């Protein structure tokens, strides 16, 4: 999750909001890849969750990594809540239930991305092993109840905890018991953004299926392959979902701004303090309405940037596009998610071919796919076949796009090698979740603790 900003530059018009998004346009040689991944921390001696405080807690882990890496600390009042690399631009942050997130630096190639991921996990292990902490890459917490899951001391999360139950059934589960892999990608122009947004929204359910790895909850199977995907069906539908208007003629920066303007805010940040702003939409805020405690607040660039970070569609637009549909996964699959999307979206010919393939899909089909994929994943019926057939086609296109990019590593291999884990999923027809369920009902003998042994980093 992005760091909240206190940027106090004045903001006085809707046109300025549209301009702020358009400033994300970059020439192709400036396009970058930013990968984020979250993971659950647990104590290796008893598989219990890691609290913030204590000699072996999350705070101790962050303090140890700060000393080891030399990164700057990020604080919420007196609490360290993350780290920031002032040189490379990467960051480490905490999700509400203590999920540990790397927000990767903007990098040119997937080879760099994978080096970053491996370096980060090695640094984490260097400190966490001494604390008896391990990490698990799944889409949903497999064992701990919501009540057993710790809360991290971040002010924005207290506002969200109070608000979420008012607008959906699963907001608190989303906050505390899910993990994701996400990739952030650039666009050249408004038209390029629109093309990538539409492809991303159309195929987000395919990413959910390929990376489905959340079949357990409260210590047993939950009836889904991507329970994280199911959670997102009822978190806060005013600020999440498929954005059907993105497929309307004329969609662009202005349309997205109007969508975001009419979503309730979460907070206003002034200095280190957070003010609950859930009673007003951003449009109302710009028109002079103020939440209690912020009666004299001026509208700022920081308010808008923070608001955009609390809008949660399947593809989110800021000064770049965020692909948000995948579950967290084990170590070796982290690089496959950015590879999948880079292959489809960063080569012009492949993007055009993918658009042609998706051209006759309807909003109703996309919504049905999103609603069905959490339970059935690649087995979901689609037209005359299954979603597996769609996945096979678009993974082939992604291979094609990565090959055309011709970004070679020192051994002479291009970036398509990072698709290998999802190639294996396509070949077997079985998602990570189905493989886990096979183990649970087979060699694990119904012992959920085995997931912490077999799927830990």
pLDDT of the residue at 222: 98
233: CB partners within 8 A, 6+ apart: 170, 370, 371, 374
Instruction: Read off the tokens for 98.
Output: 């203590």
- In 301-340 the beta strands, taken as DSSP E runs, fall at 312-313, 315-317, 321-327
- Measure Cα distances from 333 to 75, 327, 403, 410 in Å: 31, 11, 19, 21
Q: What is the pLDDT of residue 370?
A: 98
Residue 264's CB: how many other CB atoms inside 10 A?
21
Q: For residue 7, what pLDDT is reported?
A: 83
The neighbouring-strand residues paired with 76 are 79
- Taking the C-alpha atoms of residue 323 and residue 143, their distance in angstroms, rounded to an integer, is 27
The answer to whether 18 and 26 have CB atoms below 8 angstroms apart is no
R_g (Cα) of the chain, nearest Å:
21
CATH number of this structure's domain 14-454: 3.30.590.20
Helix (H, G, I), strand (E, B) or coil at 365: helix
Convert the pLDDT of each residue in 111-126 to its tens digit. Answer: 999 999 999 999 999 9
In angstroms, the CA 93 to CA 115 distance is 19
* Domain chopping of the chain, boundaries: 14-454
Residue 6 banded pLDDT, cuts 50, 70, 90 = low
Instruction: Convert the pLDDT of each residue in 281-303 to its tens digit.
Output: 999 999 999 999 999 999 999 99
In this prediction the pTM is 0.97
- The answer on pLDDT for 12 being more than 50 is yes
**Distance of alpha carbon 293 from alpha carbon 84, whole angstroms:** 30
Burial label for 242, CB within 10 Å (0-12, 13-18, 19+), is buried
């Amino acid at each position: 999750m992005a760091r909240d900003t206190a940027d106090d530059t004045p903001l006085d018009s809707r046109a300025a909001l549209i301009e702020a998004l358009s400033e994300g346009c970059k020439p192709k040689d400036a396009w970058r890849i930013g990968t984020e991944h979250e993971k659950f921390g647990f104590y290796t001696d008893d598989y219990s969750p890691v609290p913030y405080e204590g000699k072996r807690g999350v705070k101790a882990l962050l303090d140890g990594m700060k000393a080891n890496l030399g990164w700057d600390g990020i604080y919420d009042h007196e609490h360290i809540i993350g780290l920031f690399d002032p040189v490379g631009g990467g960051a480490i942050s905490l999700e509400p239930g203590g999920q540990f997130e790397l927000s990767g630096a903007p990098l040119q190639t997937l080879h760099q991305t994978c080096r970053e991921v491996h370096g980060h996990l090695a640094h984490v292990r260097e400190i966490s092993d001494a604390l008896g902490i391990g990490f698990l890459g799944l889409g949903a917490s497999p064992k701990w109840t919501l009540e057993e899951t710790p809360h991290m001391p971040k002010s924005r999360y207290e506002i969200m905890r109070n608000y979420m139950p008012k607008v959906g059934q699963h907001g608190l589960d989303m906050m505390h018991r899910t993990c994701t892999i996400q990739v952030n990608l650039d666009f050249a122009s408004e038209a390029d953004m629109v093309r990538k947004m539409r492809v991303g929204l159309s195929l987000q359910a395919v990413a959910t299926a390929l990376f489905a790895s959340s079949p357990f909850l409260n210590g047993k199977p939950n009836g889904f392959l991507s329970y994280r995907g199911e959670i997102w069906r009822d978190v806060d539908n005013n600020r999440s979902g498929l954005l059907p208007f993105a497929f309307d003629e004329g969609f662009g920066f202005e349309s997205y701004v109007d969508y975001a303007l009419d979503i309730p805010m979460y907070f206003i940040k002034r200095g280190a303090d957070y003010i609950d702003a859930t009673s007003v939409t951003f449009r109302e805020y710009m028109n002079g309405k103020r939440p209690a405690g912020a009666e004299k607040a001026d509208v700022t660039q920081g308010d808008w940037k923070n608001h955009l970070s609390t809008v949660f569609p399947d593809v989110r637009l800021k000064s770049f596009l965020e692909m948000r549909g995948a579950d967290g996964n084990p170590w070796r699959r982290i690089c496959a998610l950015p590879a999948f999307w880079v292959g489809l979206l960063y080569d012009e010919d492949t993007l055009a071919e993918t658009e042609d393939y998706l051209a006759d899909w309807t909003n109703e089909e996309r919504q049905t796919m999103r609603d069905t994929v959490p339970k059935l994943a690649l087995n979901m019926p689609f037209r005359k076949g299954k979603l597996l057939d769609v996945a096979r086609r678009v993974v082939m296109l992604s291979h094609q796009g990565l090959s055309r990019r011709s970004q070679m590593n020192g051994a002479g291999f291009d970036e398509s090698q990072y698709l290998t884990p999802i190639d294996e999923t396509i070949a077997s027809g079985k998602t990570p979740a189905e493989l886990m369920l096979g183990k649970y009902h087979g060699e694990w003998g119904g012992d959920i603790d085995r997931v912490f042994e077999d799927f830990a980093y």
